[in-house]
Structure 1
Amino acid sequence: MIEPHPLVAMIHAVPAAHRIAHEAFAREFPQATVWNVLDDRLLDDAREAGGLTDALRRRMLRLIGHVMDGGAQGLLLTCSSYGEVVDTARALWTVPVLKSDESMFKAALAGPYRRIAVVASTPPAVPAAVAQLEALVPAVRPDRPVDIVTALSEDAVGAADPESVARHLADALRAAGGTDVEAVLLAQYSLTPARDALAALLGVPVLDGAGAAARELRGFLSPDGTPTARTPAVAP
């Protein structure tokens, strides 16, 4: 039987992801007991090595093993750069292990959206998100094509507040010909605070990775497997 307050571990590579993911779980899966593990050298070491090395993969697997030994009943890796390690973890442990944005991509593809936008404020985030989204299409919606529009706004990085970030992203999306998209996906956890403002500007659903992951783990781990009345099934 699932415990009323399941232990969900999150492994972070940057401190900002800790705050954003924690807020998402407080909103979407408040029943969970959250355990945060931070290694703030994971990204820098990967950049210096030119990508993931066998040593870095083993390092992440040791962190995963640490939380599994500690009784984690679910795990979210908030760093997309280490997403490939999740496939290995799933072969080693039976508890749900999620990649940073995997739940968001699956939720978008399972929806009715035919034209989806991926927005980002850093250049590497765009191709990484599109590659993951396209890889899931055959499994999630093989009979329905999806048109993907991408928009990058590096001006959003230095914006003073979430409303300004949203305006920069909306301008970039319009410039990319995305005025007719039916849903928007945030390619970085750091953009999550601008989600609601961006949805208001565009008039379409805006999905974020942390919120979608919290909802999927809630489905796995809550006693009845259903959303609570206080939270939506899909981000507004």
Structure 2
Amino acid sequence: MAALIAPRIALIHATPLAVQPVAVAFDELWPQANRMNLLDDSLSQDRAAAGELNAAMTQRFVDLALYARGCGARGILFTCSAFGPAIEAAAQAVGVPTLKPNEAMFDEALARCAQLGGSRTVGLLTTFAPTAQSLREEFVQLAVDRGASVELEVACADGAMEALSAGDAAGHDRLVLEHAHRLSRCDLLLLGQFSMASTRAAVEAAVGRPVLTSPHSAVRAMRTALRAD
């Protein structure tokens, strides 16, 4: 009976690499949620090929969100980081809580920096180069809106996502750890792709800094938004 009354959450993926990490986060933090997975793995390919987010791609996000709402989703979580403006358009179209992949993690990061006080530096590590600039802009704008004194440093572990896609998880993790050391002077590290979440403990141990992951932050935020128990 609990499964019938649990809120349906649509998880919309642009790469299959994001499916398992968010499933793990739900299992750990909100197992009662009724999850619905939608995957269009051509989105990441088309975004990389186009070099920019265009109107046709944005409409595809709106269409996916409307489909999810039509299936009874009470909340929508997008799991790919390169499509911020398209996700914002989808959120306006559907009128249900809709999260970009990293916005909850950014919220948590700024809250932690506020608790620490003073001027702080946050490190953001990605494995998909097209996300870097959009995520930087998103974080900086959020910090400005909050009046936060936070500096952001960004690094991309080039080749890591390709290694993971090819089944080389060890190679992916090695590249993530190598590039994480470049951000070791930061007060807090953020892992910008859902597919990086499994490296959290290793990165935290390697750099000696707290590390946040996007799927866990997103699940916590969605649960709060829907006031689920």
Query: TM-score of the superposition, structure 1-length normalised?
Result: 0.81
CA distance in 2, matches of 1:81, 1:196: 25
CA distance in 2, matches of 1:132, 1:88: 15
Query: Do 1:151 and 1:169's aligned partners in 2 also have CA atoms closer than 8 Å?
Result: no
With over 3 angstroms needed to count, the CA separation of the structure-2 counterparts of 1:102 and 1:171, relative to structure 1, is: same
Secondary structure in 2 matching 1:80: coil
With over 3 angstroms needed to count, the CA separation of the structure-2 counterparts of 1:154 and 1:46, relative to structure 1, is: closer
Amino acid at match of 1:119: L
The answer to whether structure 1 residue 202 and structure 2 residue 203 are counterparts is no
With over 3 angstroms needed to count, the CA separation of the structure-2 counterparts of 1:116 and 1:39, relative to structure 1, is: same
The answer to whether structure 1 residue 87 and structure 2 residue 93 are counterparts is no
| Alpha-carbon shift at residue 83 of structure 1 (Å) | 2.1
Cα offsets for 1:135-174 (capped at 9, x unmatched): 11122x30x3112222333364548546x65554444343
With over 3 angstroms needed to count, the CA separation of the structure-2 counterparts of 1:42 and 1:91, relative to structure 1, is: same
Residue of structure 1 equivalent to 2:219: 214
CA distance in 2, matches of 1:132, 1:5: 31
| Alpha-carbon shift at residue 219 of structure 1 (Å) | 0.7
Residue of structure 1 equivalent to 2:156: 152
The answer to whether structure 1 residue 180 and structure 2 residue 185 are counterparts is yes
Structure 1 unpaired stretches of 5+ = 225-236
Query: Do 1:165 and 1:194's aligned partners in 2 also have CA atoms closer than 8 Å?
Result: no
CA distance in 2, matches of 1:218, 1:40: 26
Q: Which is further off, 33-42 or 44-53?
A: 44-53
With over 3 angstroms needed to count, the CA separation of the structure-2 counterparts of 1:197 and 1:59, relative to structure 1, is: same
Query: Do 1:166 and 1:198's aligned partners in 2 also have CA atoms closer than 8 Å?
Result: no
Over the matched positions of the two proteins, sequence identity in percent amounts to: 31
Q: How many residues align?
A: 217
Residue of structure 1 equivalent to 2:13: 12
| Alpha-carbon shift at residue 190 of structure 1 (Å) | 1.8
With over 3 angstroms needed to count, the CA separation of the structure-2 counterparts of 1:5 and 1:118, relative to structure 1, is: same
Structure 2 unpaired stretches of 5+ = none
The answer to whether structure 1 residue 135 and structure 2 residue 124 are counterparts is no
Secondary structure in 1 matching 2:153: strand
CA distance in 1, matches of 2:143, 2:74: 28
Residue of structure 1 equivalent to 2:127: 121
CA distance in 1, matches of 2:160, 2:97: 33
CA distance in 2, matches of 1:90, 1:161: 33
CA distance in 2, matches of 1:34, 1:76: 10
Residue of structure 2 equivalent to 1:39: 40
Query: TM-score of the superposition, structure 2-length normalised?
Result: 0.84
Residue of structure 2 equivalent to 1:228: none
Query: Do 2:84 and 2:134's aligned partners in 1 also have CA atoms closer than 8 Å?
Result: no
CA distance in 2, matches of 1:92, 1:171: 41
With over 3 angstroms needed to count, the CA separation of the structure-2 counterparts of 1:48 and 1:125, relative to structure 1, is: closer
Amino acid at match of 1:133: F
| Alpha-carbon shift at residue 45 of structure 1 (Å) | 2.5
With over 3 angstroms needed to count, the CA separation of the structure-2 counterparts of 1:161 and 1:9, relative to structure 1, is: same
Secondary structure in 1 matching 2:19: helix
Cα offsets for 1:190-215 (capped at 9, x unmatched): 21111111112222221111111101
CA distance in 1, matches of 2:207, 2:74: 37
